[in-house]
Each structure stands twice: as C-alpha cells, then as structure tokens.
C-alpha cells in the first residue's frame, strides 16, 4: 500500500509540474499583469520580458494575446501597447513557455493576425500612425514562426492616405524565395497596379527589394507635403530606420552615424554665442546645432541673417534661405511655441548637399520642440 501511495503521489506531482509549465492565453495575461506590478517570479517565467521602465505601468492602451495552432503546438503572440511608443512590446511564446522573439520597435495603433501557408506559420503585425499630423501611414511586419525559432522576415510600408487617395501596398504572393507585392491607387495611374519583388536574403534572413518602389513613393509624398507639424513626428524613424533622439525640450530623428556633443558653445553663423547640443556626421560632412534661446529673446538677437515669414498656428517656424559660405551650405531655423524658442542650424559640405538633400530634409522635418 505504501508503494502504491507513493506512485500515486509521484504521478500527482508530475501532473502538477506539467500543468505549471503549460501556457495558455489566460495564464500569459496573468503573468504579464503580475510582472508589471513587480512580481519577479512571474517575469522570470516570461524570460525577463518586462523591463524596469515598465514596472508599475498599467496605463497601457492594450494588452492583446492571440494564438495559432500548428504541428501539435500552440503559439502565442503578446502585444503590450502604450501611449509612448518606446514602451511597446511584442513577443512570441509557445505552449511550453518557450520564448521565441521580442520586438521593441513597434509604434501605435497596432493589430496582430496569425496565418498559415502550407507548413509555415506567419504572424502579421500592422501599425498605423500619423505623420505631419494628417498623413495616415501603415506599416506591415511579417514574422516567420518555426518549431523552435521565430524572426522578422519582412517589414515594409503598406498604406498611405494622401488627401482623397488611399494608396495601398499589398502582399499578393509568398514563397521560400520571394514575396511579390502590388501597389494600388485610385488616382495616380503612374503607380497603380505596379508590382515589386522582395527576394529572400540568406545573410540577413529577410525579404528585400532592390527598387523599394512604395517606400520611395511615400518618401517623396511626405517630403513634398507642405505642413508644419504640431505633434511629434515618427516618419523619419519609420522610413529611414533612424531613432528619435531627445534633448532638453526637443526631439530629432537621427541614426547611429551621428555623434552628439552636449553643452557646446556655438558662435559660427551667430552674432552672439549660444550653448546647446551638436550632432555631427563626419562621413557626410554635416552638422546640426540645437540651441535654446533665452526667455524674452528671439532669433534676431543672436543672428544677423534675414528670416522669412513664420508659419501660422500655435507652433511656429521660420527660416533663412539656404546660403553658401566658402565650401559649406547652411540654413538656420527658428522654432517657437508658447514660451519656448530654439534655433536649429544645419550645415554641410557643398559636395554632400545635393547628393543627400532628401535625407537632410527628413531630419530637418523631424525636428520638434515641446510647447509650454
């Protein structure tokens, strides 16, 4: 009897242990909520998904869990979306709590959908956001989820709304070697019904296009759309794979090739010096200086160059013409909103200006100051 009782006890313990390791949607949600409240044990079960910056942050826009069943296994996608995009988390687990993937690069208004094609399991994530306050843009990310691994294999802009036209960029065919997409527009016959092909790159494990037809089309449309933004802009980060850098009272989108120097005294192009941040890219021979203007002062108190008319609205901006000085091109912008005023000074080598003008314009358009 003792031996029989011991066997029963062992079976119960094994069953409990197995049940503890199994994951379902309800348990995954419970673990996330506990981890957000600071439960380290729950966070360990999530393979350290929650960072310190998330502790106590239960003010998320959505906590969404979706699943897919394939090859006798459940896969779970977890989306944690916050008002601040920098806090967003997207992760994938399986029913045995195996941690497959973590993506922290998604922005707002996110939806998730699972799909299967033959023996492949895909997770599609769609983002929707505004740039220049009124242009609505979508981005599609595609993750391939296999038996023990998962990875981002495709990420491209998928829709843009420009005035009365909605231009879409849809995936029409997926295979091991390539993805075929189609662009559709109701009014622009130059791009309507055009296809693009993204070939699988073995080195990067991504589908890549040599032409990037839709991305380049959106870049041109955003650049040509004349609008002074009121809200912080994400488009440079989305299209150019840059990152939003924040200083005291401002934001600007630059990638890792730009070096920052803080508290630098700026006298070039100014009649009186100002202290601020400088960002330089030696390979482009280009620099951006961001200088806060003291209260009750304006650009003319520090600069002798003539500024054009300012934009209208609460958030205002004005600029000088593009000027030449020796081997350099430069332009000065004044942004002001409420009690805050900043100068943005751009300069670069003449030889680099025309070749990289679109890139420089993207950075200039991404600059934004906080209103007080």
Query: How does pLDDT run across 188-244, given as a tens digit for each residue?
Result: 888 899 999 999 998 888 999 988 899 888 887 776 655 444 444 455 445 544 444
Whether 72 is covered by a domain: the verdict is: yes
Q: What are the phi and psi torsion angles at 311 (to 5°)?
A: -70, 165
Check whether residue 209 and residue 235 sit in a common domain. Answer: no
Domain containing residue 324: CATH number: 3.40.1000.10
Check whether residue 79 and residue 191 sit in a common domain. Answer: yes
* Domain boundary residue, one of 189, 223, 257: 223
Whether 188 is covered by a domain: the verdict is: yes
Whether 268 is covered by a domain: the verdict is: yes
Supply 239's token pair: 């299209």
Q: Look up the pTM and report it.
A: 0.61
Whether 3 is covered by a domain: the verdict is: no
**Structural domain boundaries enclosing 296:** 228-369
Whether 7 is covered by a domain: the verdict is: no
Check whether residue 208 and residue 275 sit in a common domain. Answer: no
Give the residues across from 128 on adjacent strands: 138
Hey, is 10 helix, strand or coil? Answer: helix
Check whether residue 98 and residue 182 sit in a common domain. Answer: yes
Check whether residue 189 and residue 172 sit in a common domain. Answer: yes
- How many structural domains compose the chain? 2
Check whether residue 324 and residue 262 sit in a common domain. Answer: yes
Whether 11 is covered by a domain: the verdict is: no
Contact by Cβ (8 Å): 34, 46: no
Instruction: Report residues of the chain scoring pLDDT below 70.
Output: 1-21, 131-134, 223-247, 312-313, 371-372
Whether 361 is covered by a domain: the verdict is: yes
Between CA 56 and CA 275 the distance in angstroms is 37
**Residue 238: its pLDDT value, please?**
52
**Residue 114: its pLDDT value, please?**
97
Q: How many CB atoms lie within 10 A of CB 206?
A: 16
Between CA 48 and CA 104 the distance in angstroms is 14
Supply 343's token pair: 């100068």
* Domain boundary residue, one of 223, 243, 275: 223
Give, rounded to a whole angstrom, the gap between the first and last alpha carbons of the chain. Answer: 79
Q: Find all residues with CB under 8 Å of 155, minimum gap 6, and list them.
A: 139, 140, 141, 142, 206
**Residue 175: its pLDDT value, please?**
93
Check whether residue 191 and residue 245 sit in a common domain. Answer: no
CA distances from residue 297 to 272, 302, 341 in whole angstroms, order as listed: 12, 9, 8
Check whether residue 178 and residue 319 sit in a common domain. Answer: no
**Residue 11: its pLDDT value, please?**
43
Whether 191 is covered by a domain: the verdict is: yes
Length of the chain equals 372
Check whether residue 291 and residue 201 sit in a common domain. Answer: no
* Domain boundary residue, one of 196, 223, 250: 223
**Residue 240: its pLDDT value, please?**
47
Q: How many CB atoms lie within 10 A of CB 144?
A: 17
Contact by Cβ (8 Å): 352, 328: no
Check whether residue 97 and residue 184 sit in a common domain. Answer: yes
**Tally of helices (H runs) and strands (E runs) in the chain:** 7, 22
Check whether residue 237 and residue 151 sit in a common domain. Answer: no
Check whether residue 25 and residue 93 sit in a common domain. Answer: yes
Between CA 106 and CA 61 the distance in angstroms is 13
């Amino acid at each position: 009897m003792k031996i029989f009782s011991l066997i029963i006890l062992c079976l119960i313990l094994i069953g409990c242990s197995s049940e503890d390791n199994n994951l379902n949607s309800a348990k995954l949600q419970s673990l996330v909520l506990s981890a957000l409240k600071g439960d380290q044990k729950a966070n360990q079960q999530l393979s350290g998904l929650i960072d310190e910056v998330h502790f106590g942050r239960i003010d998320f826009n959505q906590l969404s869990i979706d699943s897919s069943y394939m090859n006798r296994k459940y896969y779970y996608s977890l989306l944690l979306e916050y008002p601040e995009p920098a806090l967003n988390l997207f992760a994938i687990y399986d029913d045995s709590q195996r941690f497959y993937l973590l993506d922290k690069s998604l922005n707002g208004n996110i939806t998730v959908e699972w799909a299967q094609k033959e023996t492949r399991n895909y997770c599609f994530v769609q983002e929707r956001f505004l740039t220049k306050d009124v242009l609505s843009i979508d981005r599609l990310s595609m993750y391939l989820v296999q038996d023990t691994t998962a990875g981002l294999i495709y990420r491209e802009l998928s829709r843009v709304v420009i005035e009365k036209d909605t231009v879409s960029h849809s995936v029409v065919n997926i295979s091991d070697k390539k993805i075929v997409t189609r662009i559709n527009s109701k009014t622009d016959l130059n791009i309507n019904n055009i296809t693009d092909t993204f070939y699988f790159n073995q080195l990067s494990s991504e589908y890549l296009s040599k032409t990037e037809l839709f991305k380049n089309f959106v870049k041109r449309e955003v650049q040509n759309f004349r609008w002074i933004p009121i809200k912080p802009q994400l488009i440079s980060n989305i299209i150019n794979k840059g990152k939003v850098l924040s200083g005291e009272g401002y934001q600007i989108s630059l990638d890792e090739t730009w070096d920052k120097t803080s508290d630098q005294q700026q006298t070039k192009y100014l009649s009186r010096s100002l202290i601020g941040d400088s960002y330089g890219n030696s390979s482009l021979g280009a620099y951006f200086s961001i200088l806060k203007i003291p209260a009750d002062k304006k650009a003319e108190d520090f600069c002798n160059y003539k500024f054009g008319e300012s934009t209208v609205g609460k958030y205002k901006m004005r600029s000088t013409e593009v000027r030449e000085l020796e081997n350099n091109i430069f332009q000065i912008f004044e942004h002001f909103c409420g009690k805050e005023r900043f100068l943005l000074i751009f300069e670069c080598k003449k030889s680099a200006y025309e070749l990289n003008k679109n890139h420089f314009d993207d950075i200039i358009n991404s600059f934004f100051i906080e209103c007080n």
